[in-house]
């Protein structure tokens, strides 16, 4: 079995890719996928630390994070689809203009 440091390094790489995707890209779907990638990196860290300390609490946290992520996907994609139907294109710049 691989040491926990490998899993934590992989989680750090995945989280970094997710942060870069949120900061650099302007498409809401890509930003949404990047946020999901960051949540999965956090889940990997929870499982690695849970295994390291010999408790099941890491897996319990992962279960709750996945439940929240599923609700986020349902609501977020519904909002993105509704905006796409209204405007016929997706851009974060257009969404920031909706405040006015």
From first to last of the 100 residues of the chain, give the pLDDT tens digit. 788 899 999 999 999 999 999 999 888 888 889 999 999 999 999 999 999 888 888 899 999 999 999 998 899 888 888 878 887 777 776 666 555 5
**This prediction's pTM:** 0.83
Distances (CA, A) of 77 to 44, 64, 82, 88: 24, 20, 8, 15
CATH number of 4-99: 1.10.287.3510
pLDDT tens readout for residues 31-40: 889 999 999 9
**Among candidates 20, 23, 13, 10, which has minimal Cα distance to 92?**
23
In angstroms, the CA 31 to CA 19 distance is: 9
């Amino acid at each position: 079995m691989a040491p926990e440091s490998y899993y934590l390094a992989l989680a750090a790489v995945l989280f970094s890719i997710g942060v870069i995707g949120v900061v650099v890209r302007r498409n809401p779907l890509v930003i949404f996928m990047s946020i999901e990638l960051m949540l999965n990196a956090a889940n990997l860290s929870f499982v690695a630390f849970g295994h390291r300390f010999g408790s099941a609490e890491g897996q319990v946290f992962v279960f709750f994070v996945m439940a929240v992520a599923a609700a986020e996907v349902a609501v977020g994609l519904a909002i993105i689809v509704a905006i796409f139907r209204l405007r016929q294109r997706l851009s974060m710049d257009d969404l920031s203009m909706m405040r006015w």
